[in-house]
Amino acid sequence: MKSELKIKSDIEIAQSTEMKRIKDIAQNLGLYEDEWEPFGHYKAKISLNTMKRLNDNPSGKVILVTAINPTPAGEGKSTVTVGLAQALNRIGKKAIVAMREPSLGPSMGIKGGAAGGGYSQVMPMEDINLHFTGDLHAITSAHNALSALIDNHIHQGNEVGFDTRRITWKRVVDLNDRALRQVIVGLGGPTQGVPREDGFDITVASEIMAILCLASDLTDLKRRISSIVIGYNSVKEPITVSDIGVQGAITLLLKDALNPNLVQTLENTPALIHGGPFANIAHGCNSVAATKMAQKLSDYVVTEAGFGADLGAEKFFDIKTRAGDIDPAATVIVATIRALKMHGGVPKDQLKDENVSALEKGLANLEHHVASIQKYGVPFVVAINRFVTDSDLEVNKLLNWCEENNIPVALTDVWAKGGKGGIDLAKTLLDEIKTKENTFKPIYELDMPIEEKIQTIATEIYGADDVEFSPKALKQLKEFDLNGWSHLPVCMAKTQYSLSDDPALLGRPSGFTITIREFRPSIGAGFIVALTGNVMTMPGLPKKPAALNMDVSEDGTAIGLF
Amino acid sequence: MKSELKIKSDIEIAQSTEMKRIKDIAQNLGLYEDEWEPFGHYKAKISLNTMKRLNDNPSGKVILVTAINPTPAGEGKSTVTVGLAQALNRIGKKAIVAMREPSLGPSMGIKGGAAGGGYSQVMPMEDINLHFTGDLHAITSAHNALSALIDNHIHQGNEVGFDTRRITWKRVVDLNDRALRQVIVGLGGPTQGVPREDGFDITVASEIMAILCLASDLTDLKRRISSIVIGYNSVKEPITVSDIGVQGAITLLLKDALNPNLVQTLENTPALIHGGPFANIAHGCNSVAATKMAQKLSDYVVTEAGFGADLGAEKFFDIKTRAGDIDPAATVIVATIRALKMHGGVPKDQLKDENVSALEKGLANLEHHVASIQKYGVPFVVAINRFVTDSDLEVNKLLNWCEENNIPVALTDVWAKGGKGGIDLAKTLLDEIKTKENTFKPIYELDMPIEEKIQTIATEIYGADDVEFSPKALKQLKEFDLNGWSHLPVCMAKTQYSLSDDPALLGRPSGFTITIREFRPSIGAGFIVALTGNVMTMPGLPKKPAALNMDVSEDGTAIGLF
């Protein structure tokens, strides 16, 4: 039976499952008909205006799903997120999934969905992975409208005095397109604009995406957009969107995108899939608007953050909870046997072979993340996301180690079994929430200097010995002081594969230093990005992109999507 | 009363009108619930699969609304289109509007909607003028995905042998962004792609937009996409999408965009608003899919084509009716007093002043278009779209002239009075359809050489003496012969302001020659574009763009859109 299940692909499972009409999902949540709008029969947008009515409802408990440092294939964090919410509903709790929405770019490149997997998926997966409700397109439009308005402002006389060598606002497409990383625009003579260097990022790397995910309402969205720094003048003073007076138009383009999207999981658990900022140059969490709305519509909100706990959980706790005034109730740390073996030194192509000693060695990575999460004072459970290749010996080793170290743990099999495979995890988690004290507090104070914030993250969360700042970074910090930006939280851009800033240092590296190469101010989003290395904000396509296998049947059924 | 009506802006009229739920509009059309998908409560997409059920229905009569050569402000063709359909419904006929959907770019630039005006508008106008159902975003994505796949193909080894100096597939954004007209991409070294010259068009100028508007179903859409010429190899042989094998992925991205959009007018007349190709480098008509579906759902389909009759009607008759196998039943030629006075030599700022002799002189332009339409053998009516500034003397002069020349004519006041203002036009038109013989035939045969097709259009429709071909154009024609493209129809790119290729020659110029500068093959769309001058495929923004006045209220109401 199990092996037969495993043979089906994610899209086959999704296409063979009957969905409920979104009308029924919305009704079950207690939403009135005029509070949401359908997008087809299986997707909806819920108006943020609904929050006024819901304001007096009690707030559901927020459960963050995070992970150890992942393998390049990922450890199934989304699948566990969906499976856990399904499991909570199976044991009589009211739970909602709050997840990020995927970008179109990567789906054209490397096979791999962003909507969970197996029997723990959100649906309709084809729509979610293609245009969905148009949020990413609205962000692309808003971002590029701002770009066009900047270049037009310069072309028409440059009243605010942009230094055209110091325009920091680039352009975006929601695609993997390496040829657009570095371009020259405005060529062709005086009627074609002013020539200058420019570049394109992928849409999910847009500051507007980060802003949409942190804004509490349209007024806050406009306030944040007004304060985006788009460039500098000749004396290096920042120029913002409000200086060229187009914050109203840009906000108008985003008015519908700000409303959270409602869909369902394979087991008809409601899911709010909304916003998907990068987890390096942004904070990697779904929107504050969706998380808070989910809290008002259910008792438990299961949500996730990008990459491992060193990046995702840190940003969730230190950036998102602050922007949204969210109190996290518990954390799930997803671990897999194969990733732990990788941290224990096993090469990628041998992860399927039993190797208990490598597993034991790799446990140091898990141990470190457990210690980090404990520093935030939030109850937690380690979830072992089981794969068919895991041996019983390996699984038992991991379970025993957790027990010996007093670490709450549960085995999950949500890919193959859906919510049923997450019931142990759900029960263990509820028990932890009930019995353990919650003393949540961010790891740093906002009034610390930026250097000190980074020092705290690096030593407390990464386990680094020290932080080095490049001369450029130090110079920038002085400018930030003058601009009044030092009170902002820090958004770390670091490799997800290692606790350090060197992707090759697996396990639990020690004796390392984190180097801050430079900063990028995201003043609209409300954080300062600290770059520890080269950050790719525009991916490329592989030699044989997934697009080569995609098609659509005569009647409109998607083929080869995943 | 009337002056009070005139004071309200289009958006105020739209926002103060109560719409029916789209569910009711769909039901009234006899659509089953599983044949359409809602996008909010006032927009829907109708599945093209529905055509299988509707196939045996009788086909409604198609009425084309076209115009004399317009002033830069336009002559209210869309408003008459909407008003006429409303009028037909008022007199007991079943009529549907089939119109183009607007581009976001121009709405950020110069004030002016594309959804009719006054009491003859389609609604919800804010949505239609912003993201609508995402068709343009889907086209932008599909177009740029192809661009990214081309550059990736080159970067990964260039197996099909693109000459990187001869890549004809550019990129697009749905914005007015002059700085992107001419760019260099692929800069930054060997990991960043191959440097080359490139440029961006506005999305509505994409060949994919033209294709979407001419495709009969998904299979035809894929066939057309496969045959798009994206560049040439080193021996100048064309390279198509199918050569790099991504037609399936590109079609997949368009699968929902191909379904026509259903909305309503201010008087609840159903409207299919679908597709919006440029009227110069493309054919400027809404989709064949929507027009044919509208025919199966009603007795009369009122549709329009971009610019004046020399461009819009010619392309409708010679390109769209062929691609869609559509028999036009009648034509409405919209004329305004102020445009006729302009053709009679009155400068733009004096068009409000009474000037009967200029009007008389300008009638030559109308007379010429009437003669052209008669050559196609389709019954027609001249519609005088009345403005408050028109004097009774002027209006009567025009009416009398039509009567003297046996030209069917009707006065319309659909902007101020909605359908009521179009009843005379509707009745006159029905009478013409009933009493006049319809001998419709395109103006040229497909098996004529391309030079001869152009010669026919230039002399018969524009009233030119002759056509000159540049040496480049003549060279291209030889290549087209070799490539087997000579059987395709021609898509003329010419100024809309004059019958000639010189925008300054108003009225009815004579003794002029049309010069064909060069050709652009649009093999996927299925036509050869003939350029008579510089064609702007990427507009710019004005000094004070409309974006400066746009905003959104706290509760999400659009402000300053028009």
Q: Are B309 and B333 in contact (CB under 8 A)?
A: yes
A342, A406, A429, A431 alpha-carbon torsion, rounded to 10°: 170
**Tens digit of pLDDT for each residue in B520-550?**
999 999 999 999 988 889 999 999 999 999 9
Q: Which residue of B has its CA nearest to A194?
A: B179
Task: At B388, list the tokens.
Answer: 């408050």
Q: Give pLDDT, residue A377.
A: 97
**Tens digit of pLDDT for each residue in A33-82?**
999 999 999 999 999 999 999 999 999 999 999 999 988 877 899 999 99
Q: Are B552 and A187 a contacting pair at CB < 8 A?
A: no
Q: Are B386 and B234 in contact (CB under 8 A)?
A: no
| Distances in whole angstroms, Cα of residue B269 to Cα of each of A366, B24, B486 | 63, 11, 42
Q: Are B218 and A252 a contacting pair at CB < 8 A?
A: no
Would the CATH topology of A135-254 be identical to that of A450-531?
Answer: no
Active site residue A79: yes
Q: Are B555 and A245 a contacting pair at CB < 8 A?
A: no
Domain B450-531: assigned CATH number: 3.10.410.10
**Tens digit of pLDDT for each residue in A403-416?**
999 999 999 999 99
Percent of chain B whose predicted confidence (pLDDT) is above 70: 98
Q: Are B185 and A180 a contacting pair at CB < 8 A?
A: yes
Q: Are B39 and A41 a contacting pair at CB < 8 A?
A: no
Q: Where residue B155 falls among pLDDT bands split at 50, 70, 90?
A: very high
Residues of A in contact with B137 (CB under 8 A): 131, 134, 137, 140-141
Burial state string for B249-274 with b = 16 or more CB within 10 A and e = fewer than 16:
bbbbbbbbbbbbbbbbbbbbbbbbbb
Closest-CA residue to A284 (of A94, A535, A35, A89)? A535
Q: Are B148 and A561 a contacting pair at CB < 8 A?
A: no
Q: Give pLDDT, residue A280.
A: 87
Percent of chain A whose predicted confidence (pLDDT) is above 90: 89
Reply yes or no on whether the pLDDT at A3 is more than 60.
no
Q: Chain-centre distance of CA A387, in angstroms? A: 24
**Considering CB atoms only, which of B47, B183, B191 is closest to A183?**
B183
Q: Which residue of B has its CA nearest to A191?
A: B178
Active site residue A292: no
Residues of A in contact with B252 (CB under 8 A): 130, 550-552, 558-559, 561
**Considering CB atoms only, which of B178, B187, B255 is closest to A183?**
B187
Q: Give how far B217 is from chain A: nearest CA, Å.
A: 8
**Considering CB atoms only, which of B176, B245, B545 is closest to A548?**
B245
Q: Which of the four CATH numbers 3.20.20.70, 3.30.1510.10, 3.30.565.10, 3.90.1150.10 does domain B135-254 have?
A: 3.30.1510.10
First to last CA, chain A: 23
Size of interface A-B (CB pairs under 8 A): 251
Burial of A321 (0-12, 13-18, 19+ CB in 10 A): buried
**Considering CB atoms only, which of A37, A104, A246 is closest to B40?**
A37
Residues of A in contact with B50 (CB under 8 A): none
- Across the range B168-180, mean pLDDT stands at 97
| Distances in whole angstroms, Cα of residue B163 to Cα of each of A509, B231, B239, B471 | 49, 8, 10, 23
**Considering CB atoms only, which of A131, A543, A553 is closest to B256?**
A131
Q: Give pLDDT, residue B112.
A: 55
Q: Using CA atoms, how far apart are residues A191 and A383, in angstroms rounded to an integer? A: 60
Q: Give how far A38 is from chain B: nearest CA, Å.
A: 5
Q: Which residue of B has its CA nearest to A179?
A: B186
Q: Give pLDDT, residue A2.
A: 40
Q: Give how far B194 is from chain A: nearest CA, Å.
A: 7
User: H or E element: which one contains B467?
Assistant: strand B466-469
Please identify which of the residues A43, A100, A338, A417 carries the catalytic annotation. Answer: A100
Mutate to test the interface with A, among B33, B162, B182, B194 (most CBs of A within 10 A): B182
Contacts for B371 with CB less than 8 Å, ≥ 6 apart: none
Task: At B484, list the tokens.
Answer: 């087997």
Burial of B554 (0-12, 13-18, 19+ CB in 10 A): exposed
* A327 against A8, higher pLDDT: A327
Q: Give how far B35 is from chain A: nearest CA, Å.
A: 11
Q: Which fold has domain A36-132+257-435?
A: Rossmann fold (3.40.50)
Q: Give pLDDT, residue A1.
A: 34
Q: Which residue of B has its CA nearest to A109?
A: B149
Q: Using CA atoms, how far apart are residues B115 and B261, in angstroms rounded to an integer? A: 14
Q: Give pLDDT, residue A8.
A: 76
**Considering CB atoms only, which of B183, B253, B556 is closest to A187?**
B183
Please identify which of the residues A79, A331, A428, A532 carries the catalytic annotation. Answer: A79
Q: Are B152 and A541 a contacting pair at CB < 8 A?
A: yes
Dihedral sign, Cα of residue B223, residue B226, residue B232, residue B234: negative
Instruction: State phi, psi for A259 to the nearest 5 degrees.
Output: -80, 125
Q: Where residue A5 falls among pLDDT bands split at 50, 70, 90?
A: very low
Q: Are A176 and B148 a contacting pair at CB < 8 A?
A: yes
Q: Are B183 and A179 a contacting pair at CB < 8 A?
A: no
Helix spans in B301-457 (H): 314-315, 321-324, 337-343, 356-376, 392-404, 414-417, 423-435, 450-456
Q: Are B552 and A40 a contacting pair at CB < 8 A?
A: no
| Distances in whole angstroms, Cα of residue B221 to Cα of each of A554, B198, B216 | 10, 26, 7
* CA geometry: angle A491, A496, A502, nearest 5 deg: 100
Query: Which runs of E-coded beta strand occur in B224-353?
Result: 229-233, 238-240, 261-265, 270-273, 300-304, 328-335
Active site residue A307: yes
Q: Give how far B226 is from chain A: nearest CA, Å.
A: 12
Quickly list DSSP for A492-508: EE--SSSSSS-TT--SS
Q: Give how far B484 is from chain A: nearest CA, Å.
A: 28
* A536 against B221, higher pLDDT: B221
Q: Give pLDDT, residue B4.
A: 44
Q: Are B193 and A176 a contacting pair at CB < 8 A?
A: no
Q: Which residue of B has its CA nearest to A48?
A: B555
**Tens digit of pLDDT for each residue in A87-124?**
999 999 999 999 999 998 888 887 655 688 889 999 99
Q: Using CA atoms, how far apart are residues A270 and A257, in angstroms rounded to an integer? A: 19
Query: CB-side exposure of B374: number of CA atoms within 13 Å?
Result: 10
Q: Give pLDDT, residue B3.
A: 42
Reply yes or no on whether the pLDDT at B181 is more than 50.
yes
Indicate the annotated binding residues of A for ATP. 71-78
**Considering CB atoms only, which of A145, A155, A219 is closest to B178?**
A155
Q: Are B183 and A185 a contacting pair at CB < 8 A?
A: yes
**Considering CB atoms only, which of B138, B182, B188 is closest to A181?**
B188
Residues of B in contact with A178 (CB under 8 A): 151-152, 155, 186, 191-193
Q: Give pLDDT, residue B195.
A: 97
User: H or E element: which one contains A166?
Assistant: strand A162-167
Q: Are A552 and B251 a contacting pair at CB < 8 A?
A: yes
Burial of A448 (0-12, 13-18, 19+ CB in 10 A): middle
Reply yes or no on whether the pLDDT at A11 is more than 80.
no
Q: How high does pLDDT run on average in chain B?
A: 94
First to last CA, chain B: 23
Across chain A, how many H-helices and E-strands are there?
22, 26
pTM of the predicted protein model: 0.96
Residue boundaries of the structural domains of chain B:
36-132+257-435, 135-254, 450-531
Q: Give pLDDT, residue B113.
A: 58
Active site residue A100: yes
Q: Which residue of A has its CA nearest to B194?
A: A179
Reply yes or no on whether the pLDDT at B16 is more than 90.
no
**Tens digit of pLDDT for each residue in B89-116?**
999 999 999 999 999 888 888 765 568 8
Q: Give how far A489 is from chain B: nearest CA, Å.
A: 27
Q: Give how far A333 is from chain B: nearest CA, Å.
A: 36
Indicate the annotated binding residues of B. 71-78
Helix spans in B55-116 (H): 77-90, 104-109
Please identify which of the residues A8, A90, A93, A111 carries the catalytic annotation. Answer: A111
Q: Are B175 and A148 a contacting pair at CB < 8 A?
A: yes
Q: Are A253 and B40 a contacting pair at CB < 8 A?
A: no
Residues of A in contact with B192 (CB under 8 A): 178-179, 181-182
**Tens digit of pLDDT for each residue in B452-467?**
999 999 999 999 999 9
